[in-house]
Structure 1
Amino acid sequence: MRRLIATGCVVIAMLAAIVTLPLAWVASNIADEDGYVAFTSPMGSDPELQKAFAEYLTDYFVREQGLPSAVQPTAAKVLAGAAANTANAPGFTKAWEQSQRSSHRLMFGPKANQDRLAVDLGPLADFVVDHAASGLPVALPKPGKIVLQVNNESQREAIDQIQATNHRSQVGWIVVAAAAALSLLFAKRRSTGLAWLGAGALGVAALLKAATSYGVPNILDKTPSPSGFARTLQKLLADRAADSLSQWLVWLTIAGIAAIVAGVLLRVSSGKS
């Protein structure tokens, strides 16, 4: 009976961890503003994203801002060059992070008014305009805000769920810890219980790795996007999320292996005494 209860507690701990670990990742990297800025910061140096941004910004000013047709070719060339070259200019990283912070507030802030994933390109556009001003035959106004929808479908419910991840992950970790403690309490041998918990951690890491590797790309392929830049950003966000979560899974794997080794050593030492 004790073995059955201990085994059941290990299973409960595994199931709770499968749900809780992704929730905790979302709470840390998406729901939290500073976490989101830190999570998206490395993406600003991606050449593919920089190219897509340059093309989008050029089209925005040339077509949507109504520049005179006589200066459109020159403006397009100067803007494209400026947008492509600003990635290495001092202040670009700060402008990118300001863009991500503003984007997060559009979706999750107190005055959020977006029902889907969106990005505010205004800080980046202002930065490019400052660098391109000297090469243009006409003055360009700073847009202040350029809100680009990253997907076409409303995700208000999903955004609300993301905002609740911090509380839910805290509850989840309590369940994981309680189930793990009970499994050790009811195990006939603490060493065996510890080893089983370690094996459970490895199982959780493997399942989540498989879900991340195969599930996310399939979801991404079925998610429509309104522009080339939005599609590029969507893909980079998915890749960045997969890499970041994989780092968490590496630490979970290390913890699982450590628990198994500790269980084996405990069993060996107890057998010798």
Structure 2
Amino acid sequence: MRFMLTALLWLLATVALAVALPAAWLQKNVVDLDGYAAFTEQAATDPALQQAVAGELTTQLVKLGYTGDQELLRDVASVYTGGADFPGQFAQANRFAHRWLFSDTITAGEDPQGRWVVDLAPMLQDSSFNATLERFDISVPETLPVPLTENAPDSIRPGQLRAVAAWGPWVSVGATILAGVFALLALASARSRGKALAALGVSGLFIGAAGWAGLEVGRRYVNEALANTSADVRQIAEALIRHATDSMHQWLNIALAAGGGLVALGVLVALLGGLRQRTVREPS
């Protein structure tokens, strides 16, 4: 009976941890507006993303009426995206896209067709472009929404994920607390603390390995979702996804390391416990 209770608590702790790890990552880097802005600002240091944004800015300026040398314009855009101001302004543009998806508040420049958009106006209004724009008599509007996909599925619509924004913190915190509580209860109910620690370590190893495998499988679905995007927008999205994958890999590696450490600690505790029991049983 005691073994069954311990096994049940271990299983509940494993399930709670499997929910807590991705939920905490998503809450920190995607659901939270400031966290997402910080995430995109860091991703904006990627040279591949910078070149893709420079290409998209060039495209938008041509649509606004630029008739000069496009290669020269792209060079100007590349200087801007490689500068110190770009990461912060890229993060600001992504705040627009985040609010579009996670908030039910209608924002200025919302796409009338309901497509997922990002506002490039703050970048085009940067001082790096002022001379070029004035030279060709181009005025940048206050907002310039650029669709991230032409045929967004019904699951990606304005405000579609506002419930996630409302419940995300509760899920991540609640799952983390439950994982800790169930783990402690499993340790308390186990006949052997060492074996219980090792079992919890196996949970960490399993979740870390499963996460790596899940990310690999998920790449196929991401590629399908990006099929309807333009070349530059696709490269921007792919750079963000690479950055997200690398960040999640770091979290999964921590889970693997912690799991391996608990397994080693559990084996050590079990060995020491066995030696102590043997010593007690031996006649003096």
Q: Same fold (TM over 0.5)?
A: yes
Question: Does the 8 Å contact 2:41/2:88 carry over to 1?
Answer: no
Q: Does 1:150 align with 2:153?
A: no
1:30-109 equivalent positions in 2, closer than 5 A: 30-63=30-63, 65-67=64-66, 72-74=67-69, 76-109=70-103
1:131 to 123, 128, 134: 128
TM-score (norm 2): 0.83
1:90-239 equivalent positions in 2, closer than 5 A: 90-109=84-103, 111-112=105-106, 117-127=116-126, 130-135=127-132, 137-151=135-149, 152-153=151-152, 154=154, 155-156=156-157, 159-163=161-165, 164-215=167-218, 217-223=219-225, 224-239=227-242
CA distance in 2, matches of 1:117, 1:166: 24
Aligned residue identity for 1:144: E
SS at match of 1:143: coil
Q: Note the C-alpha offset of 1:14.
A: 1.5
Question: Does the 8 Å contact 1:107/1:116 carry over to 2?
Answer: no
CA distance in 2, matches of 1:166, 1:135: 45
Question: Does the 8 Å contact 1:78/1:132 carry over to 2?
Answer: no
Q: Note the C-alpha offset of 1:196.
A: 0.5
SS at match of 2:146: strand
Deviations 1:63-116 (A, max 9, x none): 2x245xxxx133x34421211111233422332232233333333356255666
Say what the alpha-carbon RMSD is for the aligned residues. Answer: 2.3
CA distance in 2, matches of 1:123, 1:272: 68
CA distance in 1, matches of 2:115, 2:275: 62
Aligned residue identity for 2:48: E
Question: Does the 8 Å contact 2:20/2:172 carry over to 1?
Answer: yes
Question: Does the 8 Å contact 1:51/1:84 carry over to 2?
Answer: yes
Structure 1 residues 207, 158: CA separation in 2 closer, same or farther (over 3 Å shift)? farther
Structure 1 residues 209, 170: CA separation in 2 closer, same or farther (over 3 Å shift)? same
Partner residue of 1:241? 244
Which of structure 1's runs of 4+ aligned residues deviate more than 4 A? 112-117
Larger CA deviation: 220-229 vs 131-140: 131-140
CA distance in 2, matches of 1:139, 1:41: 31
Aligned residue identity for 2:123: L
Q: Note the C-alpha offset of 1:135.
A: 4.3
TM-score (norm 1): 0.86
- Name the count of aligned residue pairs: 264
Partner residue of 2:281? none
SS at match of 2:68: helix
- Structure ranking higher in helix proportion: 1
Partner residue of 1:2? 2
**Structure 1 residue runs without a partner (length 5+):** none
Deviations 1:205-227 (A, max 9, x none): 11111101222x11112114332
Partner residue of 2:12? 12
Larger CA deviation: 92-101 vs 186-195: 92-101
Structure 1 residues 112, 35: CA separation in 2 closer, same or farther (over 3 Å shift)? farther
CA distance in 1, matches of 2:186, 2:115: 42
CA distance in 2, matches of 1:199, 1:227: 44
CA distance in 2, matches of 1:31, 1:116: 19
Identity %: 28
SS at match of 1:148: strand
